[in-house]
Amino acid sequence: MPVQDDVRERELVRMFNLVWDRAHQRSGVDAHLNLLVGERQVHLEVEVKSTTGTSVSTARDVGIEHIGKWRRKLFVFGFYSKERHPELRTTLCLTPTDMEAWIAAIEKKIAVDFKLASLSSSKLTLSDMFALLGEKEQYTVEDAKALHKRQWNATQYKAARDMTIGRKLAISRSKMLEILQLRSKYIAERGATLNNPHIEKSFLRPFFGTDREVTGGNWAEAIRRIARDFVASNPTHPSIV
């Protein structure tokens, strides 16, 4: 994330009195909102975005995992001026249900390619594996690493050893075929992602001038009111922990 974007988004977190997630670049969660709804203690994940334009960028290589995560989040958008030192003009606070139409549209764009990736990888056979790794009675961790490289960690490679030859653990043909199929699916899914789909002005425009737009003074109060109304209307929504 560019330094300037990070600074602006930290500013938004402070204004809305959210809990900044220090590991957000690894965990995919920017911030957290904890609040009491009736007698229920609620935890919500928050996606924080800023822009100096009219649309909002999202992420590189957007795939099915992004779709699942976005459906469980509140969204805070900060709209800044285009000056050398951008100033905040206004914000939008949108719930998962507010965002669903946009998320569903992105999901529709990539769904066919992800299904294709799953189907094509499942068609690989032992003959295909022999052509790639040679025909063996058992395989080693090094054979698995030739496929998955750094995609797996040491623990995963060791766990893949599902048979014993003498005193040594090895990987069976069936397990290695499964590993090959997983690798094929991973490669195909990388090609099925969208690069930084924007949340366009046409989608965001209807929310301006409503209670979803927060312009100043009551930032923290406003997002908590929106969150409480959302929880009350959607008590079993998967975003609510």
Give the model's confidence band at 205: pLDDT under 50 very low, under 70 low, under 90 confident, else very high: very high
Tens digit of each residue's pLDDT (9 = 90 or more) over 128-159:
999 999 999 999 999 999 998 888 999 999 99
**The pair of three-digit structure tokens given for residue 99, joined into one six-digit string:** 């965002």
Is pLDDT of 52 > 80? Answer: yes
In CATH, the number for domain 3-110+194-233 is 3.40.210
Domain coordinates of the chain in residue numbers?
Answer: 3-110+194-233, 117-191
Buried b or exposed e, range 76-106, using 16+ CB within 10 angstroms: bbbbbeeeeebebeebbbbbbebbeebbeeb
- Average of per-residue pLDDT across 26-55: 90
Q: What is the pLDDT of residue 103?
A: 97
Average pLDDT over residues 97-103: 97
Radius of gyration, alpha carbons of the chain: 23
| Angle between helix 96-122 and 219-233 (nearest 10) | 60
DSSP string, 28-88: S--EEEEEEETTEEEEEEEEEEEESSSSB---SSB-HHHHHHHTTEEEEEEEE-SSSS--E
Question: pLDDT-based confidence at 25, cuts 50/70/90?
Answer: low
Instruction: Quote the pLDDT of residue 4.
Output: 62
Comparing C-alpha atoms, which of 120, 119, 127, 126 is closest to residue 172? 126
Instruction: For tokens 């974007």, name the residue.
Output: 5
* pTM of the model as a whole: 0.78
pLDDT of residue 127: 96
Q: What is the pLDDT of residues 65-98, one digit of tens each?
A: 899 999 999 999 999 998 878 899 999 999 999 9
